[in-house]
């Protein structure tokens, strides 16, 4: 066997695989990737496909997963026409392969390429069957007599400590029980010994996951379906933290699925990939917010939908709608990373939910030119047919941005507006005290911290109220305010007209 190392999946492009169509999933960034989405969005399918992309380095150590295990042919489903491409790095001896392409497909009876032509890598798949309590798998009802071996090697001691941290239990021992018909793990806690036959399903699964992660060789791929299964929110948080640090230390790549919205709280060290299926294709959003998919699939009780990047833009847009007396007509949704603007808009268009009352708003520091926007729209809406071209042209018209000066980040611009004001106000004085920060977001965050506001939401609202007194404010918000004013008279005759600000 050749000396394989440094294996890493960069991204996967799926042409067709079960219900996944024309979607790219990017795994760059963190060593942990979370796949989220509603039931049936294809999360588990991605794990199943990844499990089959490699051959084992050592078949005595890891299982040799094959497509027939997860994509078993039936009378209804032969899986012919399935096709996806993996872009990955690996090293054989001294030779490094970067961004190599391997396409997997099934056009006839067999999948290609042949299994022995796959790159070698240790793969560990932990399915939802590991959430079944061990006692429910045990068929015997008579007395079970097993022998006990203390697991006291270095790795087992770490697993015991980490499991204890997650479960908030000070385990005094970690054991292996064996009899003629099987093996069971066991622990001792609070002077009581018990095997996995007596463990809760969640406790049992934690040991299963930790055992795979801490016994996995360097550069392994670990796939976990429904990582939050049977775990309460605090245990999940601790487990994810442990997985991240172990993955970083051992160069592991861990991909898991989850239905837990709480996972979005950890997007600083996890790749969040949000899947959503339309009738034409699958959309993959990055670092999205909890309400984005709801807005793509749910019904709105307000006629106007505005989509923004983050909390700052959310606050600014709300200030605009309040100034126009339109708040009761407008729903504002955060979509997260700037690139999500285009994929979310495309998803809504393909779902026939992109109405004339929808506007996507960029901060103004990325994808500023029409050419940049068109490039991103072309990536989000593929196809060469006339219909696709018309849809792309329509989509561009639903995207705008704040009039942010060149070279400015939004937070820095707000900070500069405050510093220019000559009024006497604590926020203005605090802004003038802040001369330099190590991250542009901190120009606003530092003001909130120094002012000791009870929440970020309150702080942002007060800061924007003051910044809006700068004479440059109207030019900054003009594209959004002007768009809203064009709709205003159709909504209510009670809303008074205002002088139209002319953009410079």
208 within domain boundaries = no
Residue 114 shares a structural domain with residue 175: no
209 within domain boundaries = no
The pLDDT confidence band at residue 32, using thresholds 50, 70 and 90, is very high
Average pLDDT (41-70) is: 94
Cα dihedral sign, 215-219-221-222: positive
Residue 295: which of 367, 373, 355 has the closest Cα?
A: 355
Separation between Cα atoms, residue 502 and residue 504, nearest integer Å: 6
Separation between Cα atoms, residue 491 and residue 493, nearest integer Å: 7
Mean predicted lDDT score pLDDT of the chain: 90
Relative orientation angle of helices 340-350 and 370-380, to the nearest 10 degrees: 50
Residue 88 shares a structural domain with residue 11: yes
Residue 440 confidence (pLDDT) above 50: yes
Cα–Cα separations (whole angstroms), residue 149 to 79, 133, 186, 194 = 46, 22, 10, 13
Residue 400: which of 430, 422, 370 has the closest Cα?
A: 370
Residue 148 shares a structural domain with residue 168: yes
The token duo for 453 is 């506001």
b/e 345-357 (16+ beta carbons within 10 angstroms → b) = bbbbbbbebbeeb
Separation between Cα atoms, residue 434 and residue 114, nearest integer Å: 61
Residue 504 confidence (pLDDT) above 50: no
The total domain count for the chain is 3
pLDDT in tens, 335-360: 998 999 999 998 888 888 888 999 99
DSSP 240-276: HHHHHHHHHHHT-EEEEE---GGGGGGTTTSEEEEEE
Q: Tell me how far apart the terminal alpha carbons of the chain are, to the nearest angstrom.
A: 68
pLDDT in tens, 105-139: 999 889 999 999 999 999 999 999 888 878 787 77
Residue 40 shares a structural domain with residue 170: no
pTM of the entire structure? 0.70
pLDDT in tens, 357-384: 999 999 999 999 999 999 999 888 876 6
Q: Determine how many CB atoms are found less than 10 A away from the CB of residue 405.
A: 13
Q: What pLDDT is stored for residue 387 in this prediction?
A: 66
Residue 298 shares a structural domain with residue 183: no
Residue 152 shares a structural domain with residue 261: no
Side-chain-side CA neighbours of 322 within 13 Å: the count stands at 10
206 within domain boundaries = no
Separation between Cα atoms, residue 156 and residue 94, nearest integer Å: 33
Residue 411 confidence (pLDDT) above 90: yes
Residue 104 shares a structural domain with residue 18: yes
* Lowest mean pLDDT across 100-104, 121-125, 383-387: 383-387
The pLDDT confidence band at residue 499, using thresholds 50, 70 and 90, is very low
Q: What is the CATH number of the domain that holds 220?
A: 3.40.50
Residue 307 shares a structural domain with residue 241: no
pLDDT above 90 coverage of the chain, percent: 67
Residue 2 confidence (pLDDT) above 60: yes
282 within domain boundaries = no
Helices (H), 84-231: 134-137, 154-167, 201-215
284 within domain boundaries = no
pLDDT in tens, 448-473: 999 999 899 999 999 999 999 999 99
Residue 221: which of 125, 315, 362, 304 has the closest Cα?
A: 125
pLDDT above 70 coverage of the chain, percent: 93
Q: What pLDDT is stored for residue 289 in this prediction?
A: 65
Q: What pLDDT is stored for residue 60 in this prediction?
A: 83
The pLDDT confidence band at residue 291, using thresholds 50, 70 and 90, is low
Helix or strand or coil: residue 290?
A: helix
pLDDT in tens, 173-223: 999 999 888 888 999 999 899 988 888 888 999 999 999 999 999 999 999
The pLDDT confidence band at residue 85, using thresholds 50, 70 and 90, is very high
The pLDDT confidence band at residue 489, using thresholds 50, 70 and 90, is confident
The token duo for 74 is 């039936």
205 within domain boundaries = no
The token duo for 497 is 């007209």
* Lowest mean pLDDT across 55-64, 303-312, 458-467: 55-64
pLDDT in tens, 417-430: 999 999 999 999 99
Residue 32: which of 9, 55, 57, 4 has the closest Cα?
A: 9
| 159 vs 346, more confident | 159
Average pLDDT (153-166) is: 97
* Lowest mean pLDDT across 251-255, 352-356, 447-451, 488-492: 488-492
Q: Determine how many CB atoms are found less than 10 A away from the CB of residue 316.
A: 26
Q: What pLDDT is stored for residue 290 in this prediction?
A: 58
Residue 146: which of 173, 176, 171 has the closest Cα?
A: 176
Q: What pLDDT is stored for residue 503 in this prediction?
A: 47
Separation between Cα atoms, residue 42 and residue 283, nearest integer Å: 11
Residue 75 shares a structural domain with residue 190: no
Secondary element (H or E) of residue 24: strand 20-26
279 within domain boundaries = no
Residue 321 confidence (pLDDT) above 50: yes
Q: What pLDDT is stored for residue 368 in this prediction?
A: 93
Residue 366 shares a structural domain with residue 453: yes
Average pLDDT (32-55) is: 95
Residue 408 shares a structural domain with residue 452: yes
The residue segments making up the domain with residue 139 are: 134-199
Rg of the chain's alpha carbons, rounded to an integer?
Answer: 27
50 within domain boundaries = yes
The pLDDT confidence band at residue 294, using thresholds 50, 70 and 90, is low
Q: What pLDDT is stored for residue 496 in this prediction?
A: 42
Average pLDDT (387-400) is: 86
Average pLDDT (285-308) is: 71
Residue 126 shares a structural domain with residue 139: no
Q: What pLDDT is stored for residue 441 in this prediction?
A: 82
């Amino acid at each position: 066997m050749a000396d394989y190392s440094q294996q890493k999946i960069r991204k996967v492009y799926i042409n067709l695989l079960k219900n996944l169509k024309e979607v790219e999933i990017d795994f760059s960034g963190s060593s942990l990737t979370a796949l989220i989405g509603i039931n049936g969005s294809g999360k588990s399918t991605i794990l199943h496909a990844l499990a089959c992309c490699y051959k084992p380095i050592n078949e005595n150590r890891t299982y040799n997963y094959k497509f027939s295990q997860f994509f078993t042919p039936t009378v209804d489903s032969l899986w012919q026409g399935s096709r996806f491409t993996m872009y990955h790095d690996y090293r054989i001896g001294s030779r490094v392969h970067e961004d190599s392409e391997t396409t997997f497909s099934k056009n006839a009876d067999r999948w290609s390429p042949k299994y022995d032509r796959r790159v070698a890598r240790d793969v560990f798949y932990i399915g939802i069957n590991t959430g079944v309590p061990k006692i429910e798998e045990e068929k015997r009802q008579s007395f079970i007599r097993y022998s006990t071996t203390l697991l006291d090697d270095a790795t087992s001691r770490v697993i015991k400590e980490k499991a204890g941290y997650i479960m908030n239990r000070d385990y005094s021992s970690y054991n292996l029980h064996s009899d003629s018909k099987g093996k069971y793990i066991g622990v001792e806690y609070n002077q009581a010994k018990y095997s996995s036959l007596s463990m809760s399903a969640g406790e049992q699964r934690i040991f299963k996951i930790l055992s795979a992660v801490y016994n996995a060789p360097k550069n392994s791929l670990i796939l976990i379906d429904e990582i939050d299964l049977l775990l309460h929110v605090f245990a999940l948080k601790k487990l994810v933290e442990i997985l991240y640090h172990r993955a970083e230390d051992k160069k592991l790549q861990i991909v898991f699925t989850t239905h837990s919205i709480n996972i979005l709280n950890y997007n600083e060290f996890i790749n969040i990939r949000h899947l959503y299926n339309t009738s034409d294709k699958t959309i993959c959003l990055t670092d999205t917010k909890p309400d984005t998919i709801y807005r793509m699939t749910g019904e709105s009780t307000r006629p106007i939908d505005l989509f923004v990047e983050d909390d700052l833009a959310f606050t600014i847009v709300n200030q605009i709608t309040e100034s126009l007396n339109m708040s009761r007509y407008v729903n504002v949704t955060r979509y997260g990373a700037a690139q999500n603007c285009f994929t979310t808009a495309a998803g809504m268009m393909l779902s026939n939910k992109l109405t004339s009352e929808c506007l996507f708003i960029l901060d103004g520091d990325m994808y500023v030119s029409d050419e940049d926007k068109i490039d991103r729209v072309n990536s989000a809406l593929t196809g060469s047919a006339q219909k696709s071209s018309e849809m792309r042209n329509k989509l561009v018209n639903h995207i705008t941005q704040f009039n942010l000066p060149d070279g400015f980040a939004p937070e820095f611009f707000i900070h500069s507006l405050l510093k220019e004001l000559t009024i006497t106000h604590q926020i203005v004085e605090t802004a003038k005290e802040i001369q330099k920060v190590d991250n542009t977001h901190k120009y606003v965050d530092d003001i909130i911290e120094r002012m000791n506001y009870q929440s970020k939401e309150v702080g942002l609202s007060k800061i924007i109220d003051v910044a809006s007194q700068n004479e440059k404010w109207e030019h900054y918000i003009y594209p959004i305010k002007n768009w809203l004013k064009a709709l205003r008279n159709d909504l209510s005759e009670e809303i008074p007209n205002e002088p139209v600000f002319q953009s410079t």
